[in-house]
Amino acid sequence: MARSQLNDKPAAGPQDHYAVLHGGFGWQVPEHFNMAEVCAARWARAAGASARVAVIADAPDARARTYSYAELQQWANRLSRVLHLRGVRAGDRVAIVLPQRFETAVAYMAVLQMGAVAMPLSMLFGPEALAYRLQDSGAVVAICDGQAVDRLHGLREDCPAVRAILRVGGRPSQAEEDFHALLGQEPAEFIAVPTRADDPAVLIYTSGTTGQPKGALIPHRALIGNLSGFICSQNWFGFDPTGRRPGSEAVFWSPADWAWTGGLMDALLPSLYFGRPIVAWNGRFTPESALDLMQRHGVTHTFLFPTALKAMMKACPHPRQQYRLGLQAIMSAGEAVGDAVFAYCRDELGVVVNEMFGQTEINYIVGNCAMNDDRSQGVGWPARPGSMGRAYPGHRIAVLDGAGRECAVGEPGDVALHRFDRQGHPDPIFFLGYWNNPAATQAKYTGDWCRTGDVAVQDADGYLWYQGRTDDVFKSAGYRIGPGEIENCLVKHPAVVNAAVVPKPDAQRGALVKAYVVLAPEAAQARASQGPATAAFDAALVAALQEHVRDKLAPYEYPKEIEFLDELPMTTTGKVQRRVLRLQEQARAAAQGPR
């Protein structure tokens, strides 16, 4: 980490309201609670439900359409009846293999109000990934987009628990039932099943960086645990912190897949909880399409991955010269934001980005609430470029060493969350455990602390500074190397759009610092045009990038080797898979033998 991050930071000033917000916060978790009730049903019962917009559905090949909260609840009631007729009962798992579209929101609301468990599955999953999750969960019904339904056809024999497949769009066949036709046969009334706050609601399989993916079982109360972080990271989400002005005019959009925690728990559900519209974009992400979409639909609040912001920074360095944006808040998570992206958001998008940190198991626990540097209304705290923020109200965070002791200020350790807040109340954000895997659940904990496996240091003001995953941090010649700082430095170079740093095995130093780099469009075009001179071009660019890092960081941190790639291996949630590159380096070293 750069020394300035801890030693040259601004002191907490009079507009730092963190202590008051955190100290005065208390959880209110009722005995009975249901995500669908608070996200759809209560708004459908309220006056003006037919005019209150819930979802703005848009796609590249279709005209945008709005759906009200009344329509959302009516469709959900019909789908609940369809599922009930197919034997779905409380506790049963229902797979949802859908992109961002109105029917996806309907599916979640229908499953949740039945007391059943929604199991989101990415549209990017192939047959093996789908089969494992369907088999492991024992899902009884799958609701699947027409573009992905073919992948399920060959799995019926391997997944005998699946009694029905409901196809949303696409070409009809005898292997599944038509979603819209079935809903058209049912009335729009359904009596919701009462659920307790601790009852399971969602089963989300983690990305499986080691071994098979694990299913994290999320209770209904976890949505409550998300809300303090959501409202803070979204700069109060359009509400007046003083309460003098009622309501909010917020419009939300995020490219995050609604099949993952980021899209579901950080975007769809909290937007609906507060009765606001969310844009469902059923199309690919590009910097230009994202900016155009936010302009067309008047998006005020968003969640954008750092990888998306990096792409926007390179493709559209001055977006407000081309687009009329009304952004009031940007939350970013999944990777470290870094000060280059931080400056882009502040200077070019006009928003102080709020970095956030969490996991599927314990989501939305750390972050910022900069309020765009106007905290005169008594809420928020300053964001520090490069920091992942502080514990959000209601969450007790510590950095632990290997023995489970809290680390001293500036000492790296594992970020962990305590089961109880500082008032001694249970934190509702906690998952129930890993599906059919009590050993993995137990291994996640050290006493009452739930370890994240992410390494950070904490400064004297409680800000956390991300170092990387436990297995991403390595030593080179005795020096401890965190990849995030080097990657952030590389991205500041105009020729670089993204980077990943991993150890390369080395007999003398243990490991060398190696960087995989994705070039910005102009640099990539220049490289492609070199022909026979490509090697010389690469050597000059590598030297320039090495000097760029050497000038800004410690001498031992600059990458001794740089390799150019067209794209980095990424998870479907937008995280760089350094493990893939690390294993590649290990395999190459093994193939070369001792040197």
User: How much is the average pLDDT of 385-391?
Assistant: 93
Which is more confident, 444 or 3?
444
**Percentage of the residues of the chain whose pLDDT score is greater than 70:** 95
**Percentage of the residues of the chain whose pLDDT score is greater than 90:** 74
User: How much is the average pLDDT of 79-85?
Assistant: 98
For residue 448, give the 3-state DSSP assignment. Answer: coil
User: How much is the average pLDDT of 476-500?
Assistant: 84
Distance CA 571, CA 564 (A): 19
Quick one: pLDDT band at residue 480, thresholds 50, 70, 90? low
Check pLDDT > 50 for residue 198: yes
**In the prediction, which pLDDT does 7 show?**
39
Which residues fall within 8 angstroms of residue 77, CB to CB, at 6 or more apart? 110, 186, 187, 188, 189, 190
For 236: left if phi > 0, alpha if psi spans -120 to 50, otherwise beta; the answer is left
**In the prediction, which pLDDT does 479 show?**
67
CA dihedral 122, 123, 124, 126 (to 10 degrees): 100
For residue 301, give the 3-state DSSP assignment. Answer: strand
> Could you give the domains of the chain?
35-215 (3.40.50.12780), 221-468 (3.40.50.12780), 474-592 (3.30.300.30)
**In the prediction, which pLDDT does 10 show?**
43
Beta partners for residue 512, in sequence order: 504
Quick one: pLDDT band at residue 61, thresholds 50, 70, 90? confident
Quick one: pLDDT band at residue 29, thresholds 50, 70, 90? very high
Task: Name the one residue in this structure whose structure tokens are 């099949």.
Answer: 259
Lowest mean pLDDT among 39-43, 73-77, 119-123, 174-178: 174-178
For 53, the enclosing helix (H) or strand (E) is: strand 53-59
Check pLDDT > 90 for residue 370: yes
Check pLDDT > 70 for residue 210: no
Check pLDDT > 50 for residue 116: yes
Quick one: pLDDT band at residue 32, thresholds 50, 70, 90? very high
pLDDT tens for residues 513-561? 999 999 999 999 999 999 999 999 999 999 999 999 988 887 778 999 9
Task: Name the one residue in this structure whose structure tokens are 């070019």.
Answer: 348
215 within 8 A of 205, measured Cβ to Cβ: yes
Which is more confident, 508 or 168?
168
Cα angle 10-16-22, degrees, rounded to a multiple of 5: 125
Alpha helices, DSSP H, located in 264-351: 269-273, 287-296, 306-315, 338-344
pLDDT tens for residues 411-461? 999 999 999 998 899 999 999 999 999 999 999 999 999 999 888 999 999
Beta strand ranges found along 459-583 (DSSP E): 464-469, 474-476, 479-481, 496-506, 510-519, 561-565
pLDDT tens for residues 230-243? 999 999 999 999 98
For residue 403, give the 3-state DSSP assignment. Answer: coil
Check pLDDT > 90 for residue 298: yes
Strands 53-59 and 93-97: unpaired
**In the prediction, which pLDDT does 14 show?**
54
Check pLDDT > 50 for residue 401: yes
Alpha helices, DSSP H, located in 351-451: 438-443
Beta partners for residue 65, in sequence order: 57
Distance CA 400, CA 402 (A): 7
**In the prediction, which pLDDT does 489 show?**
87
Check pLDDT > 50 for residue 216: yes
Residue-wise over 356-383: b if at least 16 C-beta within 10 A, else e?
bbbbbbbbbbbbbbbbbeebeeebbbbb
**In the prediction, which pLDDT does 9 show?**
44
Task: Name the one residue in this structure whose structure tokens are 């391997």.
Answer: 158
Nearest alpha carbon to residue 5 among 489, 585, 516: 489
Distance CA 55, CA 589 (A): 51
> CA 531 → CA 146, 535, 562, 566, distances in Å?
44, 9, 20, 17
472 within 8 A of 210, measured Cβ to Cβ: no
**In the prediction, which pLDDT does 297 show?**
98
Check pLDDT > 90 for residue 99: yes
Check pLDDT > 70 for residue 174: no
Residue-wise DSSP of 114-162: TT-EEEE--TT--HHHHHHHHHHHT-SEEEEETTTTHHHHTTTTT-TT-
* Cα 93 from chain centre: 23
Check pLDDT > 50 for residue 252: yes
Enter the tokens of residue 31.
């005995």
Which is more confident, 146 or 475?
146
3-state per-residue secondary structure call for 55-117? EEEEECCEEEEEEEHHHHHHHHHHHHHHHHHCCCCCCCEEEEECCCCHHHHHHHHHHHHCCCE
* Cα 116 from chain centre: 24
Strands 474-476 and 464-469: unpaired
Check pLDDT > 60 for residue 3: no
